Amino acid sequence: MVEESAQVRSRRLADLTIPLLFGASTLLLLGGVVAAAAGAAPVATGLWVTATLLGLIYSTVTLADAVRHRRPSVDVIAWLALAGALAVGEAFAGAVIAVMLTSGVLLENRAERRARRELGLLAARAPRIARRLTSSGVAQVGVGEVETGDVLLVGSGEIVPVDGRLLGAAVMDESALSGEARPVERRTGEDVRSGVVNAGAPVQMRATATATESTYAGLVRLVEHARADNAPFVRVADRFAVAFVPLTLVLAGVAWALTGDAVRAVAVLVVATPCPLLLAAPIAIMSGLSRAARASVVIKGGSALERLAAGRILLFDKTGTLTRGRPTLADIVTTGPVDAAELLRLAASLDQTSAHVLASAIVTAAGARDLPLTMPTQVAERHGYGVEGVVDGYHVRLGKAPWIVGGPAPAWVRHARRRAALDGSLTVFVSVDDVPAGVLLLEDALRPEAPRMMRALRAAGIDRTVLLTGDRADMAEMVGRVVGVDAVHAECDPAGKLAIVRAEQRQQPTIMVGDGINDAPALAAANVGVALAARGVTASAEAADVVITTDRVDALADAIIIARRSRRIALQAVVVGMGLSLIGMAAAAVGLLPPAVGALAQEAIDVAAIVIALRALLPARTHTIVLPPADAVTAHRLYAEHNAVRPIVEQVRTAADALAAGDDLASMRGLLERLESDLLAHERAEEAELLPIVARALGGPESVGALSRTHAEIEHQVARLRHLVDEIGSVCDPEDVIEMRGLLYGLYAILRLHNAQEEENAFSLMPTVAPR
């Protein structure tokens, strides 16, 4: 803490003194020019000498600091140039060098302050108080007094004090964490992070973490590490510049020895001052930190940014990184008189009071379908089995199959378990009034933006991608195929992940991406560790060098693109600046540049190099595509409709599974009517409204050709189904069952593939895609 306070005091002192030094040296230089023009040569010389002494004092302090910390430095060249200018009576040249030196340091200081301001924005908004609901009313308490399980009231415009779960629907401004200014609608049961602002009506929430364990406290700790320090490139620049010192001294000495003119040696020293190398590189690096912070990526200093730019092998954890990391409802299989919507409503109503990891997913799914929930009574948790209670007079149970079925597993249970095993899903069985009613299938869905991000990373220069997971091999291979990785390692424990990272590290620099505690060793071992911390800062974020604060893994592509651009611009600035300096040194050595002119030339070189470096602050191409506001509104509306018709897609498979000879086709006709009236209407709206938006964003109609083709195929398959149902009449025979099942399964496969393509290529372009 003492060291941290000393660093803060040092930065504040630099913020105060550097502008004063620049202002004083500039005023002295200009004052001398005015005095010289007025014929007051002694006054002009005195003012210039004073400016030179200021520069000499500053360079002496910085040189002594470098020696004390055993840090390579080329301040010796600036010091010799200033001292030499005084020694040979070139006061004007000395004053120009002083202004050159302080102006470069001023620009560097301002870039550093801007980076600190961008990185410290989150910490500055940390919540301070909370309003806790008690038996006697609402009590205002310090945020540190909130305990897990407390029910809190968050008023309109107030900051959410701790991480929690919503007890009612809410509208949140999450721009402080995600960078997206659009208000986000959150449903009952969804998790909410500390630091976001309630942009709607007052809402109640249940705390799921204390203040120190919540998102904002973790981000404050991260920001403390994210100050712009010297990147490896800058340290290499220092070493290169130090190697440049002997060359400078030899050239100055040779010019003096051959001509006997000390002024030439001073001119070489003046032009040799390597400010482009010492200032341009840090400015570009710190500008990159600032740009990354605006993209919701906290990079812990210039060293991490440089290593991120140099990475060539990218390793991903699966759960929470390439997948969403939380279960979502995939399908509802019913058996009996209770339909799917009512089964979900009863289950979600009961789960409102449960702290189980799957409860939030079930409640969220019911909210997404606008199902009216009621508060359950007589709720009882049965450890190891499930939960039961009374909902609207029905006795409802949720849990494992043996507890729900109460005997040998019937065929539908075996079928549901087999399907869950094949798809990698979780099952929650449901009974109503002690009669098995169905099963809810939940999955950890693949992030729709992941495949597109992977292609962008390859285009940005990543040579190899590797998937690491503790999941079983078949599921890992499936995810690897979809996102397009080069290698898959399944069933890895933390030690296994660490060993793979070290093995890959022997080939090329590595970047490891993860979000869980078990990823922390691998994150720390990689050349760069990247953690996703959208749902809270964990051990993985503490161990990582880069932290993504938005719940979109494709922000990693933006971060890598920004890092590489910043490093490239730093190199450009150095090459241009030092190349011109070498030319100027040669000209000074042969007498073509006197010290005064050389000083002005070096000032121009410095300004040019710094201007090149400041280009890193300018907007440039990134992976994220910003949609126009009107297009974003349309895309969000169509995405909501996309989710609304998703249950119809699952009904197609359920109908095919249940089809048998002798069945009445009344239920099939009902499904067909929903396909024609709801699903096809939605697909036509997407063809007319969504595809033009995607075409404009991705650069032309060719980018949406596959989506348009599947729209046509869906229309064709539904028309075939209508023709078949009308031709069969009312009852199926065995041949009809075979033909209709084939048609239904084919339609189901097309719809699933089409939905995945739309989420990857269209809806992933939206600023925020809510989990389905």
Catalytic positions, written as ranges: 317
Tell whether the torsion through CA atoms of 435, 437, 443 and 449 is positive or negative. Answer: negative
296: left (phi over 0), alpha (psi -120 to 50) or beta: left
Alpha helices in 508-619 (DSSP H): 520-525, 539-543, 555-589, 595-614
Strand-pair category, 487-489 with 464-468: parallel
Compute the distance between CA of residue 664 and CA of residue 770 in angstroms, rounded to an integer. Answer: 39
**545 DSSP 8-state letter:** S
| CA neighbor of 768 nearest in space, from 569, 626, 618 | 626
| CA neighbor of 608 nearest in space, from 387, 282, 279 | 279
| CA neighbor of 106 nearest in space, from 256, 344, 282, 351 | 282
Overall size of the chain counted in residues: 772
Helices 2-37, 41-68: axis angle to 10 degrees equals 160
CA dist list (Å): 392 to 347, 349, 395: 12, 9, 9
- Give backbone dihedrals phi and psi of 686, rounded to 5 degrees, phi first: -65, -40
- Give the contacts of 714 (CB within 8 A, at least 6 positions apart): 679, 680, 683, 747, 750, 751, 754
The residue type of 55 is G
Q: What is the dihedral of CA 42, 45, 46, 52, to 10 degrees?
A: -170
User: Residue 381's beta-bridge partner residues?
Assistant: 387
The residue type of 464 is R
Provide the 3-class DSSP secondary structure of residue 287: helix
Cβ count near 756 (within 10 Å)? 15
Q: In what order do the strands lie in the sheet with 191-192?
A: 137-142, 129-134, 151-154, 203-207, 164-166, 191-192
Residue identified by tokens 């600035």 is: 573
Provide the 3-class DSSP secondary structure of residue 141: strand
Compute the distance between CA of residue 643 and CA of residue 633 in angstroms, rounded to an integer. Answer: 16
Angle among Cα 125, 131, 135 to the nearest 5 degrees reads 165
- Give the contacts of 430 (CB within 8 A, at least 6 positions apart): 343, 346, 347, 396, 397, 398, 404, 436, 437, 438, 439, 440
**669 DSSP 8-state letter:** H
Helix/strand/coil (H, E, C) string of 358-424?
A: CHHHHHHHHHHCCCCCCCCEEEEEECCCEEEEEECCEEEEEECHHHHHCCCCCHHHHHHHHHHHHHC
Kindly state the tokens that stand for 193.
């992070």
Tell whether the torsion through CA atoms of 350, 353, 359 and 361 is positive or negative. Answer: positive
CA dist list (Å): 90 to 128, 237, 742: 59, 29, 93
Compute the distance between CA of residue 217 and CA of residue 594 in angstroms, rounded to an integer. Answer: 58
Provide the 3-class DSSP secondary structure of residue 766: coil
Q: Are 195 and 160 contacting, i.e. CB atoms less than 8 angstroms apart?
A: yes
**443 DSSP 8-state letter:** E
CA atoms within 13 A on the CB side of 276: 28
